[in-house]
Chain A
Amino acid sequence: MSHEHRLRIKTLFMVLLMVVCANLGDLLLAKGMKQIGAVQMSGPGIWHALLSTIHNGTIWVGILFLIGFTLCYMTAVSWADYSYVMPAGAFGYALNTMLAVVILHEVVNAQRWIGVVLIVFGVLLVGQTHPSTTTAKPVAS
Chain B
Amino acid sequence: MIKVGLMLVFFICCSTGGEIAMTHGMKQVGEPENFRPRALWRFIAKAVKNGWVWFAMPLMAGAFYSLLILFSWAPLSVVIPASAFNYVVGTFGAKYLLREQVSAKRWMGVVMVCVGVALVLITAKR
B45-62 contacts to A, CB under 8 A, are 46-47, 53, 60
B8-59 contacts to A, CB under 8 A, are 19-20, 22-23, 26-27, 29-33, 39, 42-44, 46-47, 53
Question: When the two chains form their complex, are residues B123 and A111 in contact, meaning their CB atoms are under 8 A apart?
Answer: yes
Residues of A within 8 A of B110 (CB): 87, 122, 126
Question: When the two chains form their complex, are residues A112 and B80 in contact, meaning their CB atoms are under 8 A apart?
Answer: no
Residues of A within 8 A of B44 (CB): 71
Interface size on B, residues (CB 8 A): 64
B116 touches A (CB below 8 Å): yes
* Alpha-carbon separation in the docked complex, A53 to B64 (Å): 12
1/0 contact trace for A53-77 toward B, CB 8 Å?
A: 1000000000000100011011101
B98 touches A (CB below 8 Å): yes
Residues of A within 8 A of B33 (CB): 139-141
Question: When the two chains form their complex, are residues B113 and A129 in contact, meaning their CB atoms are under 8 A apart?
Answer: no
Question: When the two chains form their complex, are residues B67 and A115 in contact, meaning their CB atoms are under 8 A apart?
Answer: no
For this complex, into which size category does the number of interface residues on chain A fall?
35 or more
- Chain A residue with minimal CB distance to B80? A96
Residues of B within 8 A of A127 (CB): 109
1/0 contact trace for A82-124 toward B, CB 8 Å?
A: 1110110010010011001100101011011011111111111
Q: Which residues of B contact A (CB under 8 A)?
A: 3, 19-20, 22-23, 26-27, 29-33, 39, 42-44, 46-47, 53, 60, 64, 67-69, 71-73, 75-78, 80-81, 84, 86-87, 90-91, 93-95, 98-103, 105-106, 108-120, 122-123
Return 17 A-B CB contacts under 8 Å, by A number: A26-B80, A29-B67, A33-B68, A78-B27, A82-B90, A86-B87, A87-B91, A112-B119, A116-B81, A118-B113, A119-B116, A122-B109, A122-B111, A126-B105, A134-B99, A140-B30, A141-B33
